[in-house]
A and B are shown apart, each in its own frame.
Chain A
Amino acid sequence: MSTTPQNAYPAALPTAPRPGVHPNVLRGKPACSTATLPLRPIAEVVVPKVALDAISLSYKTTSGERLLALDNISLQVKPGEFLCIVGPSGCGKSTLLHLIAGLQPQTSGKVLVDGTPVSGPGTDRILIFQELGLFPWLTVGGNVEFGMKMKNIGKAEREEKAQYYLRLVHLSKFRDSYIHQLSGGMRQRVALARALATEPDVLLMDEPFAALDAQTRDLLHDELERLRAETGRTIIFVTHNVREAVRLGDRVALLTFRPGRVKQEFSVSLPRPRQMEQTDVARTARDILDCLRDEINKSLEEEYADEKAR
């Protein structure tokens, strides 16, 4: 996976790992059992495609108190890497993607892409929203062409590329359909094609398959894996489904419940292609889940406490 074309970088960029970032894959509390995990140290050092440098985010609640949502998050994603971020609901994992996409500013810390700090949205990082945000007033083709149109790419080229990406997600027949005419899985694929058509370096995906039935989801997992092999994109994928994370990711980062911190990172070296039902996928997922369970309990406790207080 380190042989993607995006590994070619200008010599001026720093090649040493950032200080304060562990080169080791295991971080956080050693309390979780790690013995059975198929771990491997990250041997080669590459300039990260995306680097989160001590990201914190806090905001004022309606009652006026400041709430820390993300606390000192540092993460590095190598070019072409597939990083999955898991965590209990409310840990700020979606927010983290919004920060990387530049749709929302962080309180402190830096988001670096190819070593350059991010200061706003950019088409080098495309986010696929959980709710997709496909434009209902445009056809499937119009949606896929939208990003290119904003880049002032000519009509002929736009159509050609849209056709290419629609074929890639097996939707070329639906080019002139409107979004409301498509099924959930098809909409998901339109969102994927729309994101890919702007040719981003980094694809950010926010629980994209959470609302789908198991069969459609499995199918889309296969397609995503194939697309990634064909396009060599760096992918940061947020999910609450640990098994999905193990099924897809090269690496899984576990976030804690409020405030979100990186509790631990797991490198998944299981051979591809993987399946959700595979025993080694299930076993790895269970080990991560053991680690996650404390956090889920914390989030549930807080919810119950809220209910009691009411």
Chain B
Amino acid sequence: MKKLAKQLIFYSALIGVWALLAKLRIWPPYLFPPPWGVGHALWDGFADHSFWIGIAVTMKRMLIGYSLSVVLGMILGLAVSSSKFLEETLGGLLVSLQSLPSICWIPLAVLWFGLTEKAILFVVLMGSLLSITIAMEDGRKQMPKIYGMAGRNLGASGFRLFWSVLLPASLPFIVNGMKQGWAFAWRSLIQAEMIFLSLGLGQLLMMGRDLSDMSQVMAVMILIVILGYLVDGLIFRTMERRLQEKYGLTPA
């Protein structure tokens, strides 16, 4: 409760300073909208359903693109981590490709798929696939060797060793990779939507820009932050903390 009180005070102060700056009219309101203007834009956006639709469209794309990259990333990560040859060849390529912002794929994606959902999904996939693959590979490497030995010692081998021992043993690392992958996918998706202009939160933001409505721009920015925090900060971090505690990775 103490933490909540601190956060409450902090955010009230932040909005207070913002309101004060807006009230002083150092910058005109169309450049620096006041908090009540943004609040109004939020209200209007939800009232005319445009924000609801934007959230729904964005989340749907996110779920499809992210699920795809989790499945593919795990398969790829497993392949790379279980073959010395793939690790030395494909592994290096994956790491170097990760330095490429996924937005760089947009020209190719548009050329290959046209201005369609597929192109957006492709960009999301390229954004998160690599980080999930690399995290999966790292997880297999960092996993304490003792579990595999104990499993073999107790009579596990082949697929059962993988399924009942190696997979659960690397779960904390996998979740960490999924969390990273989510963050990358989220950024990629919003970027892609801003360029594609086909519904979604990214488009709402750009619409605000085109109408010079900075209140709407900031309202959408706040929405993006809140949604991102809800998934990353609440779902993933809780999952990660519980796992680490259970696996004895942190002093519980």
- Which stretch, A44-52, A125-133, A226-234, touches the partner chain B? A125-133
Q: A135 touches which one: B149, B157, B168, B252 (CB < 8 A)?
A: B168
CA distance A123 to B151 in the complex (A): 11
Residue of B nearest to A138 (CB): B168
* Interface pair A198/B155, CB less than 8 Å apart: yes
Contacts of B149 in A (CB 8 A): 103, 129, 133
Kindly name the residue among B147, B152, B154, B156 whose own CB sees the greatest number of chain A CB atoms within 10 A: B154
**Is B246 among interface residues, defined by CB-CB distance under 8 A?**
yes
Other contacts beyond A147-B154, A180-B248: 4, CB < 8 A: A129-B146, A131-B146, A135-B150, A150-B155
Contacts of A180 in B (CB 8 A): 245-248, 252
Contacts of B152 in A (CB 8 A): 103, 121
* Interface pair B248/A179, CB less than 8 Å apart: yes
**Is B94 among interface residues, defined by CB-CB distance under 8 A?**
no
CA distance A241 to B130 in the complex (A): 50
Q: How many residues from B make CB contacts under 8 Å with A?
A: 22
Interface residues of B in 122-181 (CB under 8 A from A): 146-147, 149-157, 160, 164-165, 168-169, 171
Residue of A nearest to B149 (CB): A103
Kindly name the residue among A121, A138, A194 whose own CB sees the greatest number of chain B CB atoms within 10 A: A121
Chain A positions within 8 Å of B, measured between CB atoms, are 101, 103, 121-123, 126-127, 129, 131, 133-138, 146-147, 149-151, 178-180, 194, 198
* Interface pair A126/B245, CB less than 8 Å apart: no
A109 nearest CB across to chain B (Å):
21
Q: B247 touches which one: A126, A137, A194 (CB < 8 A)?
A: A137
Q: B154 touches which one: A136, A178, A194 (CB < 8 A)?
A: A194
* Interface pair B169/A137, CB less than 8 Å apart: yes
* Interface pair A198/B146, CB less than 8 Å apart: no
* Interface pair A126/B153, CB less than 8 Å apart: yes
What are 27 A-B pairs with beta-carbon distances under 8 A?
A: A103-B152, A103-B153, A121-B152, A121-B153, A121-B155, A123-B154, A123-B155, A127-B153, A129-B149, A129-B150, A129-B153, A133-B147, A135-B150, A135-B168, A135-B169, A136-B246, A137-B169, A138-B168, A146-B151, A146-B154, A146-B164, A147-B155, A150-B155, A180-B246, A180-B252, A194-B154, A198-B154
CA distance A197 to B246 in the complex (A): 24
Contacts of B246 in A (CB 8 A): 136-137, 178, 180
